[in-house]
Structures are given as C-alpha cells and as structure tokens.
Amino acid sequence: MKTTPVTVSTPQFAFLREFLKRRSGVVLDENKLYLVVARLLPVMRQRGIASLDALLDRIRTASDPAIERDILNAMMTHETSFFRDKAPFETLKQLIPTLVQSRGPMRQLVLWSAASSTGQEAYSMAILFNEHFRDLLATWKIRIIATDISDVVLTRAREGVYSELEIVRGLSPLLLKKYFTPFQGKWRISQDCRRLVEFRQLNLNDFWPTIPPCDIIFLRNVLLYFSVTTRKAILDAMRKKVRPDGALFLGSAETMLGVNDGYERLSGTHCSCYRVKR
C-alpha cells in the first residue's frame, strides 16, 4: 500500500506530544517535528495506514492498543550499548566489596536497571559479576532487575541476541569470547549471565510496588526525556527504593542539580553516582 508524503501539522504534533507525555512522561521537544515523520512512517507502512491522521485516529478512538504500543515504542529513543560510558561500571565494581561486607547476613544484592532498553546495561552488570565476583555467584543471590516501558525492547532483551554492530560497541573480543556464543549470524549472551537478569515491563511514571529495596540503581539516559517535575517525582520515589548505603547512577549528561536535593554526589567516581542524603 502506498502512503502519501507525510507532513505534520501543528495540531497533529500537539496531539502526539500530549499522548506521549500522558502515557510515558516523555516530553517531545518543539523542534523534534522531523522525528515524527522519520519514526512514524515505518509504523504506517507496516500497518498499511495511508495518512498520519488515520494513524492518530486509532489513538483518538482508543480502538487499537497494539498501534498505541507501536507508536509509543517508535517515538522513544532506545539507544544503548554494553558498558556504556565505562566509568559507571568501574564505580559499580568498586562499590560491590563494601556492599558485600554490609550485606553478609542477607547474602543478597539487588541491582535495578530502570530503563533497560534492549538489555545491554543489565547484561553488562551480569558480565561484571561473572568477570570479577564469580565466587559470590556461587553462594549469594545476585538479582538484576531490568525494566522498561516498552515491551518491544524487552522482548529483544529477553532473547539476549545481538548483532555484530551492537557487540562491537562496548565489548572487547575477550568478553565476547567468554560470554557469548554464535547464533544465526549474531551473538547470544551466555546462560551464566542470562540467569541473573529478570526483565519486567514497568512505567517509571507510575507506581512500582513490585520493586524491592535496591543496593544499586542505574537510572541512566532516561530522565533527560522527562519534564523537571516528572524527573523530581521519579527521583523522590527512587529515594525509597535505593538503600541508604547503596547508590543511584544517572547518565553522563544527567544531573540532580536543580532537580532534586535529596541526594549527594559520591566524590571521586568520575560519573553521575549518588547516595541518598541522610
């Protein structure tokens, strides 16, 4: 089916912005009009929908949850990679021995990758444990909870299969050899890593009663898509989830400054790593 060239009117853009914000908290910048065409055209083609109005009508009439899901997924940025930015993982490695000392009686650590996208962040944590804390894995419960609003990325994350391009972004040949096996022209994460990670769908802009107290939270490269009010609310809620001696990591371009004063930055970490203020 042919789709006519797509242009986006101001009311269409406003409608889409409101939908995205209401459903996910994501705020589409005024100057991101071009994104709408680039991202929604594939959805229209795949579904055989001829115009943007017809696509948006499916939201208006709430007649097709699958299309709403596809639009939400298409409008979001899922950019990620293994060991993204390196410093947060180096810091995590340094924090674990102290956490292990204080969690002795429980013999459990809980880590949360709170906007996990296709899983590389959570699997990087799992690789880190296999690489540097293998003894711990034998006797402790290491839970890595990985959540995202998009079930599309979560399906990919659960499969744990990555293209060559995704692999070379962040993984050394040595780690590739140790923790991946060839699978249909791609690479599949090893069971040693896969078994540590639980993937779940979760909207950060909602309540999260199922998330237990966490020792480590990676809330990286997602807050920047929200309004300051939403960021503050999520960080307030995170204060109740991260243990007092645990740590919360933001993306390298993200900060608490001017957003939430309930945290203090951990010095000497070379990354946006925070602890709850006492």
Residues at the interface with ligand SAM (CB under 6 A): 24-26, 76-80, 84, 115, 117, 121, 148-150, 153, 203-205, 220-222, 225, 251
Q: Is-contact 249 219, C-beta < 8 A?
A: yes
The answer to whether 199 and 146 have CB atoms below 8 angstroms apart is yes
Q: Dihedrals φ, ψ of 81, to 5°?
A: -165, 165
Nearer Cβ to ligand SAM, position 58 or 231?
A: 231
3-state DSSP helix/strand/coil % of the chain, to nearest 5? 45, 20, 35
Largest Cα–Cα separation, the chain: 64
Measured distance CA(250)–CA(260) in Å, rounded:
13
User: At closest approach, how far in Å is the CB of 206 from ligand SAM?
Assistant: 8
Rounded to whole angstroms, the Cα distance separating 237 from 230 reads: 11
Roughly how many angstroms between the first and final C-alpha of the chain, as a whole number? Answer: 60
Between 44 and 75, name the residue whose CB sits nearer to ligand SAM.
75
SS3 82: coil
Helices (H), 161-243: 164-168, 173-179, 191-194, 228-239
Considering the complex, state which of residue 9 and residue 201 has its C-beta at the smaller distance from ligand SAM.
Answer: 201
Shortest distance, position 95 Cβ to ligand SAM, whole Å: 18
Q: HSE-up of 75 (CA within 13 Å, CB side)?
A: 25
CB of 52 to ligand SAM, least distance (A): 22
Instruction: For the CB of residue 84, give the shortest distance to ligand SAM in the complex, in Å.
Output: 5
- Find the shortest distance in angstroms from Cβ 118 to ligand SAM: 7
Query: In the structure encoding, which two tokens stand for residue 246, read together?
Result: 């645990």
Nearer to ligand SAM, 11 or 241 (CB): 241
11: which 2 tokens? 């009311």
Neighbour tally for 44: CB within 10 Å: 23
DSSP, res 116: -
CB of 208 to ligand SAM, least distance (A): 10
Comparison of 117 and 130: residue with beta carbon closer to ligand SAM: 117
- Of the pair 3, 252, the CB lying nearest ligand SAM is at 252
Residue 26 Cβ vs ligand SAM, minimum distance, rounded to whole Å: 5
* C-beta of 100 vs 121, nearer to ligand SAM: 121
Token pair, residue 199, equals: 């993937």
Q: Within 51-132, where are the H helices?
A: 52-60, 65-75, 87-102, 120-132
Smallest separation (angstroms) from ligand SAM to the CB of 88: 9
Nearer to ligand SAM, 105 or 117 (CB): 117
